Amino acid sequence: MGTASLGAVRTAGFWSSALCIFFSLVYIVAQLGEWAGLLGSAGGPHSKSTPVGLAVLLTPSLLLGISFVTMMVSIHYTTRISGRIWSHLAVVFASMYATLISIVYYVQLAFVLPKVARGETREIQLLIFEPFDSFLYAIDVYGYSLMSLSMLFAAITFGKQGLERWIRLSLIANGCLIPFLVLQMYWPPLIWGGSLWGVAFPLATSLLFIYFKRLDPDQDQSAHGRSNG
């Protein structure tokens, strides 16, 4: 990879990781407000969201999907060829996550929300986003399980020393959330374990932000790239 290409990767990685931090924190604050009943719902994780709640929660979540895929592609292009099978898998699972959640959130924002606001919900019951008991919620938690799986594969590409060690551990921590996400539909209390995403994800993306900020675009990629498992 030439200098110009690595410079482009640094730029994409820097800004996408920054946006991942921003959108995740906006969502976390909104979710805490939703659970506290500040967005018009009855409060708690089991309540249906109001139109305001849907807009506030799902807009940053939709944008997070785009940012996350860009960040994973950037990680892929800073990985040595010998380790790119793992980073490629990370990109694939990230793309699957983004595709699923984008469908869920755009349908909610563009189609369901206006009908809920008008009280026209009789014909769209299948599309109502209700935690633990709806078609789209099942897709949503599966999507976030794929996000965690993507981060788990990305962890393999980072080393075991210095900043890369902490990035590796934080990505593994996100991967450990998979059971708490994918099994929520069967046992809703797992959401409390899954809520650790609110700590693990911003931490991992903050460390990746530092990593991309430090990335030297003039460094030879053959010497720079990561490959160790």
* Tens-digit pLDDT profile for residues 9-51: 999 999 999 999 999 999 999 989 888 888 777 777 777 778 8
Mean per-residue pLDDT over the chain, rounded: 90
The answer to whether the beta carbons of residues 178 and 194 sit under 8 Å apart is no
87, 220 Cβ separation under 8 angstroms:
no
1-5, 6-10, 199-203: least confidently modelled range: 1-5
pLDDT recorded at residue 120: 84
CB distance 89 to 149 below 8 Å: no
Q: Is the pTM of this model over 0.75?
A: yes
127 with 121: CB under 8 angstroms?
A: no
Which residues fall within 8 angstroms of residue 62, CB to CB, at 6 or more apart? 101, 102, 105, 106, 109
Nearest to 124 by CA among 48, 10, 215, 218: 48
Q: How many angstroms separate the Cα of 201 from the Cα of each of 21, 66, 216? A: 8, 15, 25
Instruction: Provide the 8-state DSSP code for 50.
Output: P
Q: Would you list the DSSP string of 182-196? A: HTTTT-GGGHHHHTT
Q: How far apart are CA 217 and CA 47, in angstroms?
A: 48
**Helix (H), strand (E) counts: the chain:** 10, 0
Residue type, 40: G
Distance separating alpha carbons of residues 32 and 24, to the nearest angstrom: 12
The model's pLDDT over 73-130, given as tens digits with 9 standing for 90+, comes to 999 999 988 899 999 999 999 999 999 999 999 999 999 999 988 888 888 889 988 8
- Burial label for 193, CB within 10 Å (0-12, 13-18, 19+), is middle
Phi and psi dihedrals of 153, rounded to 5? -70, -35
